[in-house]
Chains A and B, each alone.
Chain A
Amino acid sequence: MAQNNANSKKLSGVVGIFDEPRALIMATKKAREFGFKHFDAFTPYPVHGLEVAAGLKRSPIPYVTFVFGLVGCVLAFLYQYWTSAIDWALNIGGKPYNSWPAFVPIMFEVTILLGGLSTAAALFIFCGLPNLKKKAFDLSITRDRFALMIETPNLATNLDVKDNLKKTKEFLQSVGAKEVREVYEEGWGFSL
């Protein structure tokens, strides 16, 4: 696989594979204590406690949703007001032109619509989806195994790279990884 043509490809990191989420949480915690800055865990399902162990900040997505929801609400009102009271003011059943209570349902729906669409868009942007460049490095990650990847930037310190690679591998073995290997940057193999 990737190791065979290792020379032609960029090293993305060293990965340790675990059979069990608790082991992964412990390993992630230790990786952080050890001083690694760039690492990521890979799991088949969201493992709770892992984000704490990895020291991740809470996702900023709620702010995006809030802002766009608010924008949706205001836009929906302005649009209804402009069409009903300014651009073509029609007397409907003797109601005032700006009959704002009747505009509320659509304001609500557009709030939800823009909030939801922006949430999805924010998720895709923050996660870099669609991800065209990085192939899944192990087919069992989406099934039942758990991985901790110590990414390349950690390896390129003032130490010799080979030495560093060795140390990282030793670290992953010491925290109980069942399998340790190098992962090289590789696309999905489709030309889109």
Chain B
Amino acid sequence: MQVNTVYQPEILIQNNKTFSDVNNEVSVHTERFPTFKWWFCFLAATSAFLLGATLASIMFRDGLGVLGLNQPNGWGVFIVNFVFWIGIGHAGTLISAILFLFRQKWRTAINRSAEAMTIFAVMTALIFPVIHTGRPWYAIFWLIPYPNQRGLWVNFRSPLLWDVFAVGTYFTISLIFWYIGMIPDLASIRDRAKNGIRKFIYTVLSLGWRGSNKHWSHYEIAYMILAGLSTPLVLSVHSVVSFDFAVANLPGWHTTIFPPYFVAGAIFSGFAMVVTLLIIAREMFNLQSYITINHLEKMNKIIMATGMMVGYAYACEFFIAWYSGNPFEAYAFVNRAFGPYWWAYWTMASCNVLIPQIFWFKKARTSIPVMFVVALFVNIGMWFERFVITVTSLHRDFVPSSWAYYVPTWYDWGITFGSFGWFLMWFLLFCRFLPVIAMAEIKAIMPTEEIRKEVHTNGSK
């Protein structure tokens, strides 16, 4: 396989696939009746969502009292879920935008599904702050600064409002970026379609894309700009989410480390979710040649690196709590690790800092069962990180007479469970109807027919 005459890039797509193999193997799942496995997962996810929706409806009827919230714990599992799901989304943008700007070509096999994950995760996240108000049909209007009969404006100095803008922009730009990236692939599916209705739907979705060189030259610039816009955007979104906490004066929240700490944590948890979903997707849709062990290994390295950043942030918080000499701050952190919520703290620390260390070993990084389990632990750990931040700071504030323990109820857990169902439901629909791999992008990084032939003849000598 030694070829000296032509530049030979790293082989990202295995098993010597041709361009038409790519189209066949990626599009086929959109063209045939879904498998039993797909229906099983889809029905399970939909049932989970319906359970959550039912519980949420009861909550709307009876009020927020059905939740575990109390004084002083005004924020609970819903806010934890909001931060968790927004964080999950960040890995998708990191893969699609930041790795694109850094010319990491391996991203092309995974960026489509990671971006889809971003969009569905943001859709899931947005539910929580809205239903947390108890009367979402008012809340959604009160968040938007428009001239209204109340004669009031929103408070532009509040991080909660910054959040509305940050998350709204994030969702819009991610959706545009994802859709624009998908136009050429939708055209591929359109051109394969035999069924008239499918042909019509994909013709509309592909906007009549024809692959013209003049169009590609605009397209590539637009794609690069959207990547360039998404990069600072994604960093800003979790920074703004962290301001929700950091701008408050509560010990444990009021720290300047929060923006980078939240962004690192978001990427960490997001990559764990990408690994979890891709392991399932590549098995379910036979995409092992495209989403290779090599890709998964690279993601595992990022998980380990960001896991250590998060670990550093945990340590740094403790150091500053001691070094600042502020007794409230110091107490908040001692209470975090050794107070009534010690179990949450140590679940977080072991899942996020200790368990990913196994990725120092190449065997672990390249083993599907190991990485699947580690990714699940990271997801659990990152959920608990947000729980620790939200609840341990709130439950013991300045006046001991107002301290209280927070226990989520079945409504909290059921609606949380429902949110996973909602997210997976959309992801499964995406896998069924849209190309899960960016076909046009991976063709650009594959050896062309000519090069493959040269490699073949030279190799057989």
Give the interface of A toward B (CB within 8 A): 19-22, 28, 40-48, 50-51, 54, 56, 58-59, 61-62, 65, 79-80, 83-84, 87-88, 90, 92-93, 95, 99, 102-103, 105-106, 108-110, 112-113, 115-117, 119-120, 122-124, 126-127, 129-132, 134, 136-137, 139-144, 188, 190, 192
Give the residues in chain B near A65, CB-CB below 8 Å: 225, 229
Question: Are B229 and A131 closer than 8 Å at their CB atoms?
Answer: no
Q: Across the two chains, which residue of chain B brings its CB closest to A144?
A: B19
Sampled A-B contacts (9; CB under 8 Å):
A43-B211, A45-B443, A88-B152, A109-B162, A116-B230, A123-B219, A144-B18, A144-B20, A188-B203
Contact residues, B201-227 vs A (CB, 8 A) = 203-204, 207-222, 225-226
Q: A20-B450, A22-B450 are in contact. Are A115 and B156 (CB under 8 A)?
A: no
Question: Are B213 and A112 closer than 8 Å at their CB atoms?
Answer: no
Q: A43-B213, A115-B229, A116-B176 are in contact. Are A190 and B200 (CB under 8 A)?
A: yes
Question: Are B443 and A44 closer than 8 Å at their CB atoms?
Answer: yes
Known: A102-B157, A120-B180, A134-B210. 5 other contacts (CB 8 A): A110-B169, A116-B226, A116-B229, A127-B214, A143-B192
Closest 4 CB pairs of A and B: A131-B208, A144-B19, A41-B213, A130-B207
Number of contact residues on B: which range applies?
A: 35 or more
Q: Across the two chains, which residue of chain A brings its CB closest to B240?
A: A105
Tell me how far the C-beta of B239 lies from the nearest C-beta in chain A, rounded to whole angstroms: 8
Residue pairs across A and B with CB atoms within 8 Å: the count is 205
Give the residues in chain B near A62, CB-CB below 8 Å: 221, 225
Question: Are A142 and B191 closer than 8 Å at their CB atoms?
Answer: yes
Tell me how far the C-beta of B19 lies from the nearest C-beta in chain A, rounded to whole angstroms: 3
Q: A112-B232, A119-B229 are in contact. Are A40 and B214 (CB under 8 A)?
A: yes
Q: Of the candidates B210, B220, B221, which one forms a contact with A131 in the assembled complex, judged by CB atoms under 8 Å apart?
A: B210
> B57 on the interface (CB 8 Å rule)?
no
Tell me how far the C-beta of B404 lies from the nearest C-beta in chain A, rounded to whole angstroms: 27
Q: Across the two chains, which residue of chain B brings its CB closest to A124?
A: B207
Give the residues in chain A near B156, CB-CB below 8 Å: 80, 83-84, 102-103, 106
Question: Are A20 and B236 closer than 8 Å at their CB atoms?
Answer: no
> B400 on the interface (CB 8 Å rule)?
no
Q: Across the two chains, which residue of chain B brings its CB closest to A122?
A: B222
Q: A46-B440, A59-B222, A113-B172 are in contact. Are A106 and B162 (CB under 8 A)?
A: yes
Contact with A along B383-395 (1 / 0, CB 8 A): 0000000000000
Q: Of the candidates B153, B187, B190, B219, which one forms a contact with A127 in the assembled complex, judged by CB atoms under 8 Å apart?
A: B219
Q: A109-B166, A131-B210 are in contact. Are A46 and B192 (CB under 8 A)?
A: no
Give the residues in chain A near B222, CB-CB below 8 Å: 59, 61, 119-120, 122-123
Give the residues in chain B near A102, CB-CB below 8 Å: 156-157
Tell me the bound Cα distance from A54 to B213 in angstroms: 9
Question: Are B209 and A105 closer than 8 Å at their CB atoms?
Answer: no
> B281 on the interface (CB 8 Å rule)?
no
Question: Are A106 and B161 closer than 8 Å at their CB atoms?
Answer: yes
Contact with A along B316-343 (1 / 0, CB 8 A): 0000000000000000000000000000
Tell me the bound Cα distance from A21 to B451 in angstroms: 11
> B184 on the interface (CB 8 Å rule)?
yes
Question: Are A117 and B176 closer than 8 Å at their CB atoms?
Answer: yes
Give the residues in chain A near B19, CB-CB below 8 Å: 44, 143-144
Q: A45-B443, A143-B191 are in contact. Are A51 and B217 (CB under 8 A)?
A: yes
> B188 on the interface (CB 8 Å rule)?
yes
Q: Across the two chains, which residue of chain B brings its CB closest to A187?
A: B208
Give the residues in chain B near A59, CB-CB below 8 Å: 217-218, 220-222
Give the residues in chain B near A124, CB-CB below 8 Å: 207
> B155 on the interface (CB 8 Å rule)?
yes
Tell me the bound Cα distance from A68 to B153 in angstroms: 25
Tell me the bound Cα distance from A127 to B215 in angstroms: 5
Question: Are A92 and B157 closer than 8 Å at their CB atoms?
Answer: yes
Tell me the bound Cα distance from A122 to B180 in angstroms: 12
Tell me how far the C-beta of B152 lies from the nearest C-beta in chain A, rounded to whole angstroms: 7
Tell me how far the C-beta of B202 lies from the nearest C-beta in chain A, rounded to whole angstroms: 11
Q: Of the candidates B180, B212, B243, B441, which one forms a contact with A45 in the assembled complex, judged by CB atoms under 8 Å apart?
A: B441
Q: A92-B155, A139-B192 are in contact. Are A130 and B208 (CB under 8 A)?
A: yes
Q: Of the candidates A20, A51, A136, which one forms a contact with B187 in the assembled complex, judged by CB atoms under 8 Å apart?
A: A136
Question: Are A105 and B212 closer than 8 Å at their CB atoms?
Answer: no
Q: Across the two chains, which residue of chain A brings its CB closest to B444?
A: A45
Question: Are A41 and B212 closer than 8 Å at their CB atoms?
Answer: yes
Interface centre among A46, A99, A126, A142 (most CB of B within 10 A): A142
Question: Are A123 and B180 closer than 8 Å at their CB atoms?
Answer: yes
Contact residues, B148-189 vs A (CB, 8 A) = 151-153, 155-157, 159, 161-162, 165-166, 168-169, 172-173, 176-177, 180, 183-184, 187-188
